[in-house]
Structure 1
Amino acid sequence: MKQTTFLLVFGVVLSFCQAQSETGGEETGGEEEHVELFTTPATKMGAATSDFGYNLFRALASRESATNIFLAPITVSAVLTQLSMGGSEQAERQLYRALRYHTLQDPQLHTTLKDLLASVKAPGKGLSTAARIYLARRLRLKQDFFSLVEQQYGVRPKALLGGNRDMKEINDWVSQETGGKVQRFLAKALPRNSAVNTVSAAYFKGKWVTRFSQSGVMENFQVDGGSPVRISMMQQDNYPVKMGADSDLSCTIAQIQMQDDISMFIFLPDDVTSNMTLLEESLTAEFVQDLSMTLLPAQVSLTLPTLKLSYSTDLLPLLNDLGLAEWLETPDLEKISGQAATLSSVNHKVVMETAPEGNQYPSATSTTSHLSYRVDRPFLYLIRDEASGALLFIGRVVNPKDLSI
């Protein structure tokens, strides 16, 4: 794991943070707590699904350079894990390696994942998800597989009917599972020769612990190689965050607490750039956990874009980059059908919103913090469940003006 060295950027408030830094910033103490975190089945599973998510995000980022991209990786983990239940032992091993499960040695893997999915979708966390397999009827499907997945994950794979009927069925089901927040999951019908298709979707609207007093303020957002764009921002003085700077990655990092043990990490490059390859390559479950132990508390004048976004893509081409090229050629889904069946699509869609609301007001003080954190240029962010360490959402914003919902 990359060892992170932080240059504190707290200026005149550094003395205020000294007591916290003496306990929270010690390298050995942080490492001991970090090691302890990954000894439970839930946190090990959280780390595995996160590392799969970071790998998937890197693959997408390398193919979609200098554009806005977003993923809810835990939903992709969920549907590909369902799919692994239909493969031979060798096929299962191949999928497990890509999903990072080979490190777990968990005989109750499916139960652990099921419990993790239930915990991150608990009321109040702001996350709703949908994950399901759709299969062509011509494959002469084995009903035992349908029952096995339904028994374990509470969702039954579904046989395709063909054409626009399938598009309506899938769109209606995803909308239902996400409380109507993810609409038009498919914009066009599945290919006529589809065999095995996975569907994963997520909606997230978490609430801050500390509210923003100003919202809807139009300000400039710097764009790499272009003129600034005017976007809606949220702003609050004396806002509590955890913060630090990484000189190796040339970025400043803030962790902002959300309700129900969720937090947002923002990685803000020092310069206006859409090339975040070095930063993207650094992301692992261990690295982010190390950040949560190393960042120091501070009161800042915080300015954030108001995010409202919808993003969809077919992740199938990315699976080659995750070491699944051989599996994709011969997936050996013997428990699904006696016929050869290949994966036709890995459709994924995410919708996310942020709002200024929170259940606490910033602490009252007669002076305003001299430390400012303005997210007014391209940035990367992730949303993490703190109890398990699971990565729920990750995105790269290069031009908020292009976002839509």
Structure 2
Amino acid sequence: MKRTTFLLVFGLILSFCQAQSETGAEEAAGEEEQHVELFTTPVTKMGAATSDFGYNLFRVLASREAATNIFLAPISASAVLTQLSMGGSERAERQLFRALRYHTLQDPQLHNTLKDLLLSVKTPGKGLSMAARIYLARRLRVTQDFFTLVEGQYGVRPKALLGGARDMKDINDWVTQETGGKVQRFLTKPLPRNPGVNAVSAAYFKGKWVTRFGESRVLQNFQVDGGASIRIPMMQQDSYPVKMGADSDLSCTIAQIAMQDDVSMFIFLPDEVTSNMTLLEESLTAEFVQDLSLTLLPAQVFLSLPALRLSYSTDLLPLLGDLGLAEWLEDQDLEKISAQPTKLSSVNHKVVMETAPEGNQYPSVAATPSHLSYRVDHPFLYLIRDEASGALLFIGRVVNPKDLTI
């Protein structure tokens, strides 16, 4: 559901921000002058499309996996499904493009634009590495033009499966290599016996903050739905610069925290301790988040944030029908891959993420102690966004950090 209006309530934050030093205000003004307007260039429009696909995918997953930790790297899933679209008929391509939100772009150079976006979000300083590839059953008589087309556009050649246990090792080794050794054991069980076409997407993110945390891994209480508390490692720092706002419609407080190389983390913290975040999840669109980034106000807070280290994997194939692809799943028409009838058998997806307490700089020593706290000490939703393009890199719902493992 697309939100066209929202109300941000700033009473407490406004009074606090007015007490900030003139230096802090000048810094905030400088940041606003550097803001890049979104939705005006092919790459930022593509960033919005991949983001909206990601939000839609996240909503479907969230509805199926209620009250649990879930995570996605939508841009990686977009990349591999776009590769797949190159093997479909015009009808199949049109259906996939609608699910991927490309039908809104009217971009005749769509593949070049996506390639530019992928290159921009994978620059080393952003902390993101990705793997996206199509694997094909050995029995298929594959059209060589498909191999050449995908490799020429995205720099990764679809690969024929070897058969048996060798497939799992081959795929796992490739994903590990593409992610610098960070995403391991991508597959933990063999592919389907009649594998057909398999889409592989993985991503690793280790974000570093612009402002470092002075204390990391301090054990603190985190309340979970139902009233219980658990002890988890938290990062914390006084006089931490953020942008904040409170949304009364969504009953949550929102913080935007700057990460290195023009990346931000947005945290949506419900007012109540609850794992039911359906209303919040339904509100998310590229336009809504962009509006937030322009409306949140600078503040210095005592910030307490869970130290995230997580690994999450799932098969996205069962979700595609709820993205408007039910008809396509019945007749996929992948005629440019093979003249033989074939279907997509799996869309395996795995994400690994870490946040380090380190940053480029310490909080300002001249800053007065914070009177405003932002303690992320109960279930929350977060997203990682590339500010230059507006592309959604990661999105997650944290219900119980104790269950997060790498």
Give the alignment's TM-score, normalised by structure 1: 0.95
**8 A Cα contact 1:12 1:370, kept in partner:** no
Contact 1:243 1:255 in 2 (8 A): yes
Counterpart CA distance in 1 for 2:199 and 2:367 is: 55
What is the match of residue 6 of structure 2? Answer: 4
Q: Deviations over 1:245-304 (max 9, x none)?
A: 000000000000000000000000000000000000000000000000000000000000
RMSD value over aligned CA atoms? 1.8
Alpha-carbon distance in structure 2 between the residues aligned to 1:140 and 1:315: 26
What is the one-letter code of the residue matched to 2:364? S
Q: Match of 1:294, as an amino acid?
A: T
- One-letter code aligned to 1:13: F
Does 2:70 correspond to 1:69?
A: yes
Runs of 4+ in 1 over 2 A off after TM superposition: 16-21
Contact 2:54 2:74 survives alignment (8 Å): yes
* Offset of residue 14 of structure 1: 3.5
Contact 1:214 1:236 in 2 (8 A): yes
Q: Aligned to 1:66, what secondary structure does the other structure show? A: coil
Counterpart residue number, 1:53: 54
Residue in structure 1 matched with residue 292 of structure 2 by the alignment? 291
Per the TM alignment, residue 192 of structure 1 is displaced from its structure 2 partner at its CA by: 1.1
- State the partner residue of 1:404: 405
Instruction: Give the share of equivalent positions with the same residue, in percent.
Output: 80
The whole-number CA distance in structure 1 between the counterparts of 2:4 and 2:243 is: 20
Equivalenced residue count is 397
Q: Secondary structure at the match of 1:113?
A: helix
Residue 369 (structure 1) aligned with residue 381 (structure 2): no
Q: Per-residue displacement from partner, 1:295-341 (whole Å, max 9, x unpaired)?
A: 00000000000000000000100001100011011100000000111
Superposed displacement of residue 18, structure 1: 11
Residue pair 1:124, 1:259 contacting (<8 A) in 2 also: yes
State the secondary structure of the residue aligned to 1:215.
strand
Does the aligned pair in 1 maintain the 2:313–2:351 contact within 8 Å? yes
Query: CA separation in 1, counterparts of 2:245 and 2:303?
Result: 14
Distance change in 2, residues 1:329/1:390 (3 Å): same
Corresponding residue to 1:15 among 10, 15, 18: 18
Cα drift, residue 11 of structure 1: 6.5
Give the Cα–Cα distance (whole angstroms) in 2 for the partners of residues 94 and 161 of structure 1.
30
Contact persistence 2:302–2:370 (CA under 8 A): yes
Provide the secondary structure at the position in 2 that maps to 1:139: coil
Partner of 1:123: 124
Q: Distance in 2 between matches of 1:299 and 1:46?
A: 30
State the alpha-carbon separation in 1 of the partners of residues 274 and 190 from structure 2: 37
Q: Which runs of 5+ in 1 are unaligned?
A: none
Deviation at 1:4, TM superposition (A): 2.0
Query: Amino acid of the residue matched to residue 13 of structure 2?
Result: F
* Aligned partner of residue 42 in structure 1, secondary structure: helix
- Return the offset for 1:12: 4.7
Partner of 1:384: 385
Q: Does the CA-based 8 Å contact 1:274-1:378 persist in structure 2?
A: yes
Do residues 171 (structure 1) and 172 (structure 2) align? yes
Letter in 1 for 2:100: L
Q: What is the 5 A alignment of 1:355-366?
A: 355-365=356-366
1:227 corresponding residue in structure 2:
228
Query: Map of 1:89-128 to 2, 5 A cutoff?
Result: 89-128=90-129
In 2, the alpha carbon distance for the partners of 1:150 and 1:14 equals: 51
Residue aligning to 1:198: 199
Which is worse superposed, 252-261 or 217-226? 217-226
Q: Is the 8 A contact 1:17 1:296 kept in 2?
A: no
TM-score after normalising by structure 2: 0.95
Q: Distance in 2 between matches of 1:399 and 1:368?
A: 30
Q: Whole-Å Cα distance in 2 between the matches of residues 189 and 354 of structure 1?
A: 31
Aligned to 1:188: 189
Question: Cα distance, 1:174 vs. partner?
Answer: 0.1
1:364 positional shift: 1.1
When residues 156 and 224 of structure 1 are mapped into structure 2, their CA distance, relative to the original with a 3 A threshold, is same
Tell whether the 8 Å contact from 2:239 to 2:367 is kept in structure 1 after alignment: no
Identify the residue that residue 263 of structure 1 maps to in structure 2: 264
Aligned partners of 1:393, 1:179: CA distance in 2, in Å? 18
